[in-house]
Chains A and B, each alone.
Chain A
Amino acid sequence: MPHDTIELTTPVGRDWDPVVRLVLGGIADRLNLGFEELDDLQLAVERLLLEAGTQDSVMLAFDISETGVRTRIGPLRAGALAEALQGPPPPPGELTLRRILETVVDSFGVEQVAEDGQLIVRLEKVVRGA
């Protein structure tokens, strides 16, 4: 399967989550991801969209290959979010955004955007057995 990209700019707000979930569902179907893996990826994206807070819109880019999907979400106006994701691991028993992402995706990272403090969060979900 060639490397494909889907880009989506969506208003921020829970009313728009179904649109994002359906896009992810279509990608999961294309990649033959399991139901639970799709559910996990949807949860990760939803959590990050919540962090977009009062932003009007946010862009999602899905890079799809035969080995998995890389989702990039941003720019997000949250410097503290970067600290939360890049700082030391949370102690055992503490439920943080970082721990949630560590559980539901294969890897994640934060990319700084220019000098304005905005950031893009990158999520990787791998196709099992690919």
Chain B
Amino acid sequence: MTVASAPSSQLDDRELLRRYHVDGDRSARELLVQRHLPLVRALARRYAGRGESLEDIEQVGAIGLIKAIDRYELSREVALTTYATPNVVGEIKRHFRDKGWAIRIPRGLQELNAKMSSTIERLTAKLGHSPSIAEIAIELQTTPESVLEAMEAGSAYAPVSLSAGPGQEGELDPMETIGTEDANFERSEQRASLEPALEMLPDREREILRMRFEDGLTQTQIAEQVGVSQMHVSRLIRKSLARMRAELS
């Protein structure tokens, strides 16, 4: 059996990198990403407990992995894991520095916010419905006011695209859309339809909007299907709508 005819999953990193960079085989790139996600998860865990959910940190780390794969030069005599590790860590650090908390939030609130995502998921499964503020507060042994504050603190956090990868760097940060003057107010009918801007969204975020607003799935149901937390779905929906609207403005 020649190397070329071997199942892709059996090929080593170097051959997959060659197929991607030389032959333009994007499935090889996908396979590399999947293969090294455990590395991303391991690195992301080092940064857990700093006010952001592990899931969010892993998403950021995955961007670093993709960038490492894309930037890898075949002439290098270094393993992909060795090359990718500083890229993943660098991406996570940069995220905490630049994109994590857009405004300064007290550490206690950040930590409470980070716990909320898993708490809501746990309570939703336990209660069979989306938990109330009071139920979340009891579970977290805090007050409803603190829960609301922590939720609000979460809105100061800029979420990471699910379909992050090359080409995402230039995307609008939600904070960039804040306070923009809307000089074309009279065009509200046109703005009321977000359709033209839908096409600019990454496939997965478009799919989430479709599931929510066309299929009528709840955030919890979408979260289960997509494999992220309900809070992350909420953030992505808001971010997508804001981005679409900014595009139309």
**Distance of B236 from chain A, by nearest CB (Å):** 12
* A36 & B219 in contact (Cβ 8 Å cutoff): yes
Q: Which B residues are CB-close (under 8 A) to A37?
A: 130
Segment at the interface with B among A2-10, A62-70, A80-88, A106-114: A80-88
DSSP majority for the B interface?
helix
Instruction: Answer yes or no: B155 CB below 8 A from chain A CBs.
Output: yes
Number of A-B contacts (CB under 8 A): 114
Residue B245, interface by CB 8 Å: yes
B203 on interface, CB distance cutoff 8 Å: no
Give the chain B neighbours of A14 by CB distance below 8 A: 177-179
Q: Which residue of A has the minimal Cβ distance to B215? A: A103
Contact A39 B234 (CB under 8 A): yes
Residues of A within 8 A of B131 (CB): 34-35
Is A80 a contact partner of B189 (Cβ separation < 8 A)?
yes
CB of B50, distance to nearest CB on chain A (Å): 23
How many residues of chain A get a CB closer than 8 Å to chain B's CBs? 44
Which of the four size classes fits the interface of chain B?
35 or more
A-contacting 9-mer, from B88-96, B162-170, B190-198: B190-198
B130 to chain A: closest residue by CB: A34
Contact with B along A88-121 (1 / 0, CB 8 A): 0010111111111001000000000000000000
Asked if B220 contacts A97 (CB within 8 A), the reply is no
Distance to closest chain A CB from B1 (angstroms):
47
> Of A26, A43, A77, which is within 8 A of B148 by CB?
A26
B189–A35 CB distance below 8 A:
no
Which residues 153-191 of B sit at the A interface, judged by CB distance below 8 A?
155, 177-179, 181-183, 185-189, 191
Min CB distance B45 to A, Å, is: 26
Q: Is the CB of A29 within 8 A of B195?
A: no
Roughly how many angstroms separate A92 CA and B183 CA in the complex, as a whole number? 30
Q: A14-B179, A34-B129 are in contact. List 4 more A-B contacts (CB 8 A).
A: A14-B178, A29-B144, A35-B120, A85-B192
Q: Which residues of A contact B (CB under 8 A)?
A: 13-15, 18, 21-22, 25-26, 28-29, 32-39, 43, 46-47, 50-51, 53-54, 77-78, 80-81, 83-85, 90, 92-100, 103, 128
